[in-house]
Structure formats: structure tokens, C-alpha cells
Structure 1
Amino acid sequence: MFHGPVISKSELRPGDGVRYLFRGVMVGDGHRPAGEALRDAQDEAGVPPGVWRGRGLDAVGLTAGDVVGERQAELLLGEGRHPDADRIERERLEAGDDPAKARRATVLGRPIEHNRSPKTDKAKERKPWLGMDLTFRPPPTAHIAWALMDDETRRVLELCQDISVDKTLAWVGESVAQIRSGSGGKRRRQIRDGGLIVAVFRHYESRATESRPLLHDHAVVSIRARRPDEAGTWGNLSADTLLAHIVAADTLYLLFFMEEVSARLGWAWEPREVTPGHRPVMEIAGIDERLIGWQSTRRQQIEDALSVLVADYEEDHGHAPGERAGYALACKAADRTRPPKRKELRSLSELREGWRESAIVAFGADVVSRLAERASAAAAAVWARVRPVVDIVLAAVDVVAVVYVMRGAFKRHHLLAEARRYLSYVLRGRPHQAGLDERIVQTALDDYTRPVGQGRSVTADLSALYPRDTDDQAVLRPLTRKRSAPPYERARLAAGALTARVHATRRSERLNSRTRPHPVAVPGGLRPSRTDRKAGRGREQGTDVAALEQTRATIEAAATMAAKLQDGVRERAAARVAAPRPAPAASPPQHTHQPGVQPTSGRTLTGGVA
């Protein structure tokens, strides 16, 4: 089965891109006849008007939460001009400026016509960017809960969506977005204080021929941004930088959404394997999986098209697509199966009533009416067996192993995306400390990677991951080269072998009476009581794909490594003292490997605890 990105992107350029924005995105992917007022079309489609968001709004006299006016959108997102350009131009003309100068005063940065490539070949002329449409979609079980539960739950989930989108856009503006400057725009600087200007439009249903719930937001990011200089000049954002961080933004949005849902509704999350050997997806625990198939009519169409594209890719390249190629193929499958927009649209209340009736007919009233009850019961079961604690070192080792096997050479944003996936798997919706993902990445870069090529990329430092143990290499190298298995399956096995080695080393150090580190305090209000800690000693600890970690060959190899390390430590300790000591046991006790949750050795811990 196909699981596409939570955030997808599309370019906004003059011509077709702008027409798609005004005739589709702004009116809920409906059909807007020429000449119909925007607000009338939105009312008819049953979708709310778009709103402005972003820290860059002050620079153009807008306020977060203001309704997106049609003329404002035409000027800013369609022409790259100030959203109040009509007034500015009129005042300039009244002050005596000539028309060309008055119009130029309304342009933010370089005029569109100056950004076009030379018109030597009309067919190959590249149109300039005006913006980027980032579409934020929660996981399928969230759509189901939003569509079929009561109105209060629906409003809470919409609030979770609002907060998650805002936080993700804030991170993009503060930590990712760069503005071009200098000759040819080759130099790039962080905009930080300037911030993004974003128009957000909420939609309620999928594009499938048969209407299905799909709560999602189109966040149209303006390419124009103000430079952080005293003059306050304007320029264009670096599209390449934004595109490179789409996956990292995707995983951050999911992490925020999971945390908001768990905090406000008390639900927990569990990984669901969609395709054997591939990444699992996080879903709300307790939601009947049959409803996912009912909700995902459009998804099945994409899956069918994607299977053909993947087969063609494997035939052409001789191997399965990697992460980046898989993302591109998924987007291509979505574009190929995009149906025409429906002309008959209904309000949200009518849609919800129809969805509920459809689900009851398909699965019965009991399944639909007890969704909230079963989600709460499943959450209690998850927190009874899962102890969501994050170990910085184990997380860094896991992240490096996965990214290394799947990519070979990689960059910082690849580690950041994987670190956020790791946190979502381990914490299951519990909040993470601010900057925890960055700490995991920095530990990975400092301790377990080395530069390659001209230093623009890094790769795993295998000598740091297994400095002296040839047994580790015997376990890892076949996994990283086993092309018959899916890349993620090999990555999980490699991560399991490495984290088992960390556990074995720590156990050896404890047997040698080394001091154990102390954990950093978890977020307020989340530390368990003494009774809870005692009751949870035998519980499952946070892991992302438990089934893959139980591979018999890997566990046996990890146990063998642990035994050898323990024997060697004890023998060296016995040789250092004069008094004779009892010989170590031939077969030390084995333990089951649980990645990502044990105390670190020589490094601090942090995380969230239920």
C-alpha cells in the first residue's frame, strides 16, 4: 500500500499556477465560474475563507488571522507586488510620479518580467516562482476521527491542525528559509526576523470521485521576503533550500500534530506497517483499520498507479527506489490520478452526515459510535506497556544507521528528518523537549559521521560505530549490502545490531563498577509516580518497529557480542588486581534488545515519560 508524504508541495508560477490557485485552491478544489466573487464561491463550496499567517505580515501591513482578499492574493501571490499596491500606486500618481515609477514602488523586490530567463527559445522559457503550495495532511486515522466523531472532537482536531501548521511554518521561517542576494542571487542569508508571508486555505474532502474525509490545509508561501538589512529591501526566497527541507518539515509537522492530539484528547499513537519492509506510519491507537480503507478511496487509486511507476523504475535502474526517488514517484502517481473537480459541493455539516451514514452502512453503528471509547481504551493499553524515554546516544546511533543504509552519503537535514521520525516512534505522542531533535543530530554529527567528497555531505563513521569489534562488522556489512531486502528493512536490522552493541558495552561498564549518568528532568507534569514506575518495570519500551527488531539472527549475534565483551572486561579487571577473583560465568545472562531507551554512558538523557 502507498503512504504518501504528510506534506506535499507544488510550485506556483505565473499562468496556469496562478489560475489553479484562484479557481481551485482558494475555493476548496471546487469549480469557480469566471466572474464569480471569491467569497460567494467559498460559501457555495462550503469552505472557510483563507487566512494570512506568518511573521512577515507586518512588513506589508497585514495581521495574522486576517481574511485573504482576492485582490490582495492577486497582487502578492500573482504579481509579486504589495497586497495594498492599488492604494500605494494611486498615492504616488497623485504625488506626481510617472505611471512606471509609481508601479515600480509597489513591486516587492525584482519585477516578475525581469526574473524570466532569456527569450531565445519560447518553448524552453522558465517562468519565475511566485510561491510554493505546501499541503498539510494529518494521518488517515485523524481524518476518520475528525469526520465521524462528535462536533467537540472535530473542533479539537481542527485546533491541533492549526497549531501544528503554525509551528511548522514558524520553524521553516526561522531555521530554513534563506533569501538570495548578491550577483545572480548566489549568496543566501537567513531571513529569521523577516519571516514568511503565507496564505492558508482549509479543505475538507479528497479529490476522489466518491467524497471521503480529508482535512488538510494549503499553505501558499510567498516567494517574496524582506532582507534583514537596514534598508528593508526585498528579495526572493531560495526555492532549493525550501525543497531540500520538505521532508524535515513533514516529520516535524507530524510530531507536533501527534503531541497536540495526545495532550488534548488523551489518545496514543502506534506504528502501522503499510508495506512490509518499508517505513511504518503513525496512527491513532484503537481506530479500526478497516475505516482507513473506507476513508482512502483516493489513496487506493494512487497506490495502483504507484505500483506501475515503481516497477518501471526497478526495470530501468535494477534496484528499488530510495527515499528521494520514492517521494518523487509518489507525487507523480498523485498527479497522474488527479480526477477532475466536482461541480456539486456540500457544506461540512452535510459532508459529515453523509460520511457517518456511509461508514455505518459499511461497518455498522457499533464501530462508528464507539470510536472515541476504543481510542481511549487503546491509549491506556499503550501507556501501560510503553515507557516513552529518549536516550540521546542510542537515538543518534539509530538515526545514523538508518540514514547511512538508505542513503550512503547524506546531509544534516536528512539526519534531522530521521531524528524526528525516531521521536514520533518512541514518544507515541508525549511531548518532547524543545531542541531534542537538534541534540540528537548534533551528537550524530559529532560522534558517528565523517565528511565525504568536498565536505558538503557526510557518511557514517564506521570506525566510531564499531572501533575494535570485528564481530560488529560481520553483522553490519551483509545487511548494508543485501540488495534483495527493502532498504528500510536493512536499515532497521543495522540499527538493531548497533544499538545492541551499545547496550552490551554499557552492561560491561556497569559490571566494571563505572558510575552511571543522571537523566535530565523531563517536561513538567509528566514524571510518573513511584507506583507507576514500579508497575511499569516490565513494560515494553519505546521502539519504532518492534517486529523488525526481533529478527532472530540479529538478536543471536548481539547476544554473542555481549558475551564476548563481558568476558573480556571481566578478564582484564581480574588481571589488574592482585587478589584472585571468581571466574566469570561461561554464559552471561542474555537480554532482549530494546532500542533507544536505556540510560546513556557518559552522556545525558532526556525525553518525555508518561
Structure 2
Amino acid sequence: MISMSEVRPGNGWRYLFRGVMVGDGHRPAGKSLRAAQDEAGVPPGVWKGRGLAAVGLKAGDVVTERQAELLLGEGRHPDADRIERERLAEGKSPAQARRATVLGRPIEHNQSPKTDKAKERTPWLGFDLVFRPPPTAHIAWALGDYETRLVLELCQDIARDKTLAWLGEEVAEIRWKGGGKHRARVRDGLIVAVFRHYESRAAESKPLLHDHAVVSIRARRPDDKGTWGNLSADSLMAHIVAADTLYTLYFMEEVSARLGWAWEPREVTPGRRPVMELAGIDQRLIGWQSTRRQQIEDALSVLTANYEKKQGHPPGERAGYALGCQAADQTRSPKRTELLSLTELRERWRDSAIRAYGVDVFDRLAERARAAAAAVWARVRPVVDIALAAVDVVAVVYVMRGAFKRHHLLAEARRHLSYVLRGRPHRPGLDEQIVQAVVDDYTRPVGRGRMMTADLRALYPRDTEDQAVLRPLTRKRSAPPYERARLAAGALAARVNAARRAERLGSRPRPYAVAVPAASRSHPRPFRTGPKAGRLLEPETGVDAVEQTRQTLEAAAAKVAATIQDSRRAREAAHGLRSQPAPAAVPPPHTQQPGVQHTPGRSSGGVA
């Protein structure tokens, strides 16, 4: 999953610089960043993103303390010291030399003084995006062998980088003309500093492979001058759930492709969305690893009960996310002072798991996961049906939200792909194809057109009341929203399947009818009889082709019979014989007379 928090001057910057950059440990004053990272046993941060070229950096470069302070803390060029010295050597004033290093508007200019009419506005420095794989991936990474750990870390790198690339290319917007009222895509992409952590903040250290991706607020506008500005925060925040589902989808695909493992849905809370977990990992280890998660869930249950008592209904998606953040803040424990290397941590985790459940729970972990994956692939057919995916997405989003935007559909489409494919790769653009099918067939705009809602008249053309088919399901307030959403999705999927069956039955031919396509007159095909023969209409006249074929065959048979009768009469006249009655017209072989059923393997003649 992905969580997002803003980085602001003051406490936010100090938390980033003294905590996040050193593995959520404690960095004493005066200790260098690299020394603190070595002591904490975490790797140094690295730069990521297409926007690095604009500031003279490359992907994979180590994040130095001074670069982070300049770019992420002050919104200046990471090589500002050199640029400032060069400007001073050219005769510029200190203020002019410093201004030459600022990317966009100086941060101090973005801060408005506090008055009676307006509150103080604190500028943003960046966004801290935290990428966490599913719990069973943490377990396999912590308790598996050395090769498994390296592969899972590689999968984390690839999934994270692909998601950051999507945010930079498809989502990130920058203020453009008119004081931010108009926005445009960023010119070069994002500038991101990534810091890897290995453990959770729980009082007892537990495995938690996760990355802090600190996105700089600065980005270049798409103009010829290459001016700099600030990213739009609301655009990134609106798409954070869609980014979360994309990251999970990529991570699942990489793990399945490289390790041969499969994924299965696990219901954490009854009636809520399931989470995808690795098949074959002992579920008891999730409770052992998720000490911190259990603390948050305990606090969240109390907050949710208070919310329902006050509001009179369960929290929706947005309120549930806010309550989850509140529960995490309430249960946040102080940082640990004991710092261990990853090798020491893995040894401690293995000893803790053995004491809790015995060595059998993770012995031959990779072999068990591959065996469980084989069972999953034998049971589940990873095929995406666009029509069924579209009705599933629109049903869930409509019941959960009522009115929605495109990014809500995109997030649900990616969840659908995760559930259906179980780690198998998806075709690029398939999620967008599902969303476009929903927008085209099952939605209509509401309000001023910024939002949309479900429109099911394509499935229920005689439905005079808007959404009448789903109203009985959505009014079941005793059930959680997601449970009602699944009921609605099942109803729509049944409707699509019924429509398909009706279409197949409507186009099914009469038994044993003969069909001759009109377009094949110049090159006639062999006649087909039996259940697979189709009923066709002539494109020019719309006449039933079977009836026309019957008439044609009858006329041809009559003509043949007349020719035979004339030649026989001629022979009889030549030999002085008496004329005999003409035989009845017999249809050509391999054809079936209308209305007569032919039984294969038996003669069509009389009884012997």
C-alpha cells in the first residue's frame, strides 16, 4: 500500500532529516547523515525520477546531506553552492547570486503573515510517499533465504519506480497561468529521493520492508523558458489510491514472474475489501509480524464506533481513511535507540518466529509457495472479461461513493485486475480500457460535469426509475458498504450473462437447417447440416436464406427430373417402347428436406 503525508518547514522537515533519512532511527545532533545511516544499518538514499536531468543529477545517485537540504528543504538547486560562487565571481550581489539558485518562487515568499483576516500559510516542501508490500511479502522477505530476499527487494524497486513514473507522467500537474487556476503537465517529471527501511516502529522490532519516496514540490513548467513552479498537491492526493492499486498490481506481477508464486484474497475484516496475500505463507505469521497493525486496528475499532454513534452510519472510504490515519497517530510509539544491521535483524526475526510457532511454519518456504501457486493456477483461470470487469467496477464504485470521478474507476479497475489475474501480467492499458468501457456504457454526468454516476439503462432499457435495480441492495444498511457493493456487482454480472445467453439463443438456428451465404454464390461452399448450421438473411432482400435455398433446390430438382423424362421419352420413341411414369424428384445428396428430421447412421428410405 501507499500512504502520503506532506513535508513542511519546522517539525516536518526535522522529522524527515533526522528520522526518515536514517531508517526511522534517532540521529543525534552533529552526526553526519552517512554515519547515521551506517550506524542504523540502512542503505543511503538514492535519487529517482525523470526530472533529475534538469538539475544535473542521475537516477541512482546517492542523496547527500547538502543536496537534500538545498532541494528538499529550501527549494534550491542541489548544486546551489557552486552556482552561487560562480555568480559572485561574475560580480553579482549576494542576493542576486542566491536568487539564481532558487527553483521557482522562494519558499519565504510563499509564506503569508498571520493577520486577523487570514491564517498563516505554511509552504509545502514535498510529499512523503511510503510504499509497503503486502504483509506476507514482508514475512517471505524476512524469513526466506538470501536469494528470495534479494528478489523481493528487486520487485519492490521495480513496482515503486513504475508507480512513480506513472505519477510523474500521467498525474503530476503544475500551476500554470492565472495564479494556479490553470494547470498543465510537468515538463520533465518528478524529482524523488528514496530511502529504504527494514523494520516497523513497534516496540518489538518486526520486519517491514518499505520505502520512503520524498517527492520534491519543485518541477519545471512546459514552456520554452524552462521556468520552475510548485506541483499541485490536490492532484497527487486525489490519485493516491489509484497509485496504491497500481503499485500493488506491479508488485504482484513481478513476484509471480520471478519466483513463480501466486496470490489469493484474504478477508481481514468481514464485509470489507480483501487484501491480496501470497499463497502458501502460513497465515499465523501475519499476526506475528503485524504487531503494529493490530495496535492500529484496535484503536480504529473504537474510533469507528464513535463515528457511527455520532453520524448514524458507517464511515465511507474517505472518512475511513481519515480514521485510519488518526488511529496510526494515536498508537505511534517512540523511536527505538537500539540499532541493528539487517543480518542481525533477520537472525532475531527467525529466532522470534521459531519460539512462537516452531521452525515448520517457514521451513522450505519457497517450495511451499510454489506448490500453493500451482494449486491456484489449476483452480483459477486468469482471464479478464472487459464487459464483466466494467459492470463490476461501476457497481462497486457506485455503491461505495454514489458520485465519482475517473480516478475512482481507475483504482477499482486495478483492484479487479489484481483479484482476477492473481499475479499474472496484464496488457498495458487494460485498466484504462476497462475504465473507458464503464464511462462509455454505464455512466452519466452529474452536477457541472466534474462528477458522474452510474447509468444502467444499457443493461435495463425498460427501467423507468434511475438505478431501480440496485436500490434494494444499496438500501441494506445493516451490511457494510463493500458487502452491498459485491451484491450489486453480482446482480449486474448475472444480467450481462443472461443477455449473452439470450443473444446466443436468438441467433441459434433451427435444428438441421441448411444455410448458404449469399456472398458465396460465385464460389459455393459445401452445404452444412446439423446443429451448427446457421440461419442467414440475404443482405439485399432480407429473405430467409434457408427458405430461398429450399426453393432453389426444388426448382433444380424439377428441372433435372424434366430433363431425365425428356431423354427417356426420346429413347423410347427411338426403340418403339412404351412410355413409363416419370420418377419422383429426389433432392441432391447431402441435403435435408425441410421439416424432416434425419437420424445419423440410419437410412432415410422406407422400412426394409
Kindly indicate whether the alpha-carbon contact (under 8 Å) linking 2:455 and 2:466 is maintained by their aligned counterparts in 1: no
How many angstroms apart in 2 are the aligned matches of 1:184 and 1:50? 34
Residue number in structure 2 paired with 1:214 = 208
Structure with larger Rg? 2
Q: What's the CA shift for 1:344?
A: 0.6
Q: Is 1:81 the equivalent of 2:76?
A: yes
Kindly indicate whether the alpha-carbon contact (under 8 Å) linking 1:466 and 1:473 is maintained by their aligned counterparts in 2: no
How many angstroms apart in 1 are the aligned matches of 2:414 and 2:49? 23
Kindly indicate whether the alpha-carbon contact (under 8 Å) linking 2:193 and 2:213 is maintained by their aligned counterparts in 1: yes
Q: Is 1:268 the equivalent of 2:259?
A: no
Q: Is 1:145 the equivalent of 2:165?
A: no
Q: What's the CA shift for 1:123?
A: 10
When residues 123 and 32 of structure 1 are mapped into structure 2, their CA distance, relative to the original with a 3 A threshold, is farther
Of residues 208, 232, 236, the one that matches 2:226 is 232
* Structure 1 counterpart SS, 2:113: coil
When residues 581 and 261 of structure 1 are mapped into structure 2, their CA distance, relative to the original with a 3 A threshold, is farther
Kindly indicate whether the alpha-carbon contact (under 8 Å) linking 1:466 and 1:472 is maintained by their aligned counterparts in 2: no
How many angstroms apart in 2 are the aligned matches of 1:392 and 1:150? 39
Kindly indicate whether the alpha-carbon contact (under 8 Å) linking 1:401 and 1:495 is maintained by their aligned counterparts in 2: yes
Kindly indicate whether the alpha-carbon contact (under 8 Å) linking 1:205 and 1:215 is maintained by their aligned counterparts in 2: yes
Of residues 240, 251, 254, the one that matches 1:257 is 251
How many angstroms apart in 2 are the aligned matches of 1:7 and 1:199? 16
Q: Is 1:166 the equivalent of 2:161?
A: yes
* Structure 2 counterpart SS, 1:215: strand
* Structure 1 counterpart SS, 2:362: helix
Residue number in structure 2 paired with 1:27 = 22
How many angstroms apart in 1 are the aligned matches of 2:367 and 2:192? 38
Q: Is 1:54 the equivalent of 2:52?
A: no
When residues 66 and 155 of structure 1 are mapped into structure 2, their CA distance, relative to the original with a 3 A threshold, is same
Which letter maps to 1:207? Answer: R
Residue number in structure 2 paired with 1:407 = 401
Residue number in structure 2 paired with 1:522 = none
* Structure 1 counterpart SS, 2:129: strand
Residue number in structure 2 paired with 1:367 = 361
Which letter maps to 1:385? Answer: R
Residue number in structure 1 paired with 2:535 = none
Which letter maps to 1:55? Answer: R
Which letter maps to 1:323? Answer: E
When residues 205 and 488 of structure 1 are mapped into structure 2, their CA distance, relative to the original with a 3 A threshold, is same
Residue number in structure 2 paired with 1:339 = 333
Residue number in structure 1 paired with 2:91 = 96
Residue number in structure 2 paired with 1:3 = none
Residue number in structure 2 paired with 1:12 = 7
Residue number in structure 2 paired with 1:604 = none
Of residues 243, 246, 256, the one that matches 2:240 is 246
Q: What's the CA shift for 1:442?
A: 0.6
Of residues 426, 446, 454, the one that matches 1:452 is 446
Residue number in structure 2 paired with 1:601 = none
Deviation string 1:34-88 (CA, Å, 9 cap, x unpaired) is 0001000000000000000000000000000000000000000000000000110
Which letter maps to 2:286? Answer: I
* Structure 1 counterpart SS, 2:265: strand
Alignment of 1:236-385 (within 5 A): 236-385=230-379
Kindly indicate whether the alpha-carbon contact (under 8 Å) linking 2:457 and 2:463 is maintained by their aligned counterparts in 1: no
How many residue pairs were aligned?
Answer: 517
Kindly indicate whether the alpha-carbon contact (under 8 Å) linking 1:472 and 1:497 is maintained by their aligned counterparts in 2: no
Which letter maps to 1:39? Answer: R
Residue number in structure 2 paired with 1:505 = 499
How many angstroms apart in 2 are the aligned matches of 1:185 and 1:88? 29
How many angstroms apart in 2 are the aligned matches of 1:81 and 1:121? 32
Which letter maps to 2:421? Answer: L
How many angstroms apart in 1 are the aligned matches of 2:249 and 2:85? 47
Residue number in structure 2 paired with 1:540 = none
Residue number in structure 1 paired with 2:121 = 126
* Structure 2 counterpart SS, 1:463: coil
Which letter maps to 2:404? Answer: F
How many angstroms apart in 2 are the aligned matches of 1:472 and 1:226? 46
* Structure 1 counterpart SS, 2:296: helix
Give identity over the alignment, percent.
82
Provide TM-score, normalisation by structure 1: 0.82
Kindly indicate whether the alpha-carbon contact (under 8 Å) linking 2:455 and 2:467 is maintained by their aligned counterparts in 1: no
Of residues 344, 368, 382, the one that matches 1:388 is 382
Kindly indicate whether the alpha-carbon contact (under 8 Å) linking 1:204 and 1:348 is maintained by their aligned counterparts in 2: yes
Q: Is 1:188 the equivalent of 2:188?
A: no
When residues 465 and 334 of structure 1 are mapped into structure 2, their CA distance, relative to the original with a 3 A threshold, is farther
Q: What's the CA shift for 1:477?
A: 1.6
How many angstroms apart in 1 are the aligned matches of 2:595 and 2:249? 51
How many angstroms apart in 2 are the aligned matches of 1:58 and 1:473? 51
How many angstroms apart in 1 are the aligned matches of 2:451 and 2:196? 38
* Deviates further, 347-356 or 334-343: 334-343
How many angstroms apart in 2 are the aligned matches of 1:254 and 1:121? 46
Residue number in structure 2 paired with 1:107 = 102
Deviation string 1:551-572 (CA, Å, 9 cap, x unpaired) is xxxxxxxxxxxxxxxxxxxxxx
Residue number in structure 2 paired with 1:201 = 195
* Structure 2 counterpart SS, 1:214: strand
Which letter maps to 2:250? Answer: F
Q: Is 1:69 the equivalent of 2:64?
A: yes
Q: What's the CA shift for 1:120?
A: 1.4
Q: What's the CA shift for 1:468?
A: 2.4
Q: What's the CA shift for 1:156?
A: 0.1
How many angstroms apart in 2 are the aligned matches of 1:449 and 1:315? 34
Kindly indicate whether the alpha-carbon contact (under 8 Å) linking 1:323 and 1:406 is maintained by their aligned counterparts in 2: yes
* Structure 2 counterpart SS, 1:451: strand
How many angstroms apart in 2 are the aligned matches of 1:262 and 1:472? 43
How many angstroms apart in 1 are the aligned matches of 2:488 and 2:508? 28
How many angstroms apart in 2 are the aligned matches of 1:174 and 1:415? 19
Q: RMSD across aligned C-alpha pairs, in angstroms?
A: 2.1
* Structure 1 counterpart SS, 2:43: coil
How many angstroms apart in 2 are the aligned matches of 1:113 and 1:60? 21
Q: What's the CA shift for 1:581?
A: 9.7
Provide TM-score, normalisation by structure 2: 0.83
